[in-house]
Amino acid sequence: AEARKEFTRALQLWEKEGGPDGSLATQALRPLARLEVATGAPRKALEHCQRALAMDERVQGTSAPDVALDLACLAEGHLALGAPEQAVPLLERASALAPDHAAIVRLLAVARLDAHRAEAVSHAAAALNYFLQNDHARARKAVEKALSLDPENRRARELRQVLGILG
């Protein structure tokens, strides 16, 4: 609570100094957004990141280094919401703007892995649905797709075993 109060105070001071749409405010918006993610308020974090991105793109241009940080900030919010498929394109753009930024590169790798896992879960669920409908051919295909994305997906592995027993 104290940290949020300090970041909010800093934001108010920077808005007063540079105006509410000045790029100085982004220096408080990104840390405030990270705090929101850490305290379980990722939707609020997205608002801060979107505001910072809009300011930085307007003031500095769409290829500025701060834009990469804003995009990564947005991606962190989407990851916290369990939406890695929305985070990946943001991080790809951020990585293109700042290819040597280690945190962005690491976050992109994590987001891609999370997106693959989420897609694997979806395919495993579809496979189970096909299995329950006695459509074993489609179930096998969905299981194989799930396992190609996430070889450790327990549901898909178990379903593959059952399908193997059935022939």
The DSSP secondary structure of 25-62, one letter per residue, reads GHHHHHHHHHHHHHTT-HHHHHHHHHHHHHHHHHHH-T
Q: Note the pTM of the prediction, 2 decimals.
A: 0.77
How sure is the predictor about 16, in pLDDT bands with cuts at 50, 70 and 90? low
Band of pLDDT at residue 29, cut at 50, 70 and 90: confident
User: What pLDDT is recorded for position 28?
Assistant: 80
- What are 95-151's pLDDT values in tens digits? 999 999 999 999 999 999 999 999 999 999 999 999 999 999 999 999 999 999 999
Three-state DSSP class for 82? coil
Looking at residue 14, its pLDDT comes to 61
* DSSP letter (8 states) at residue 23: G
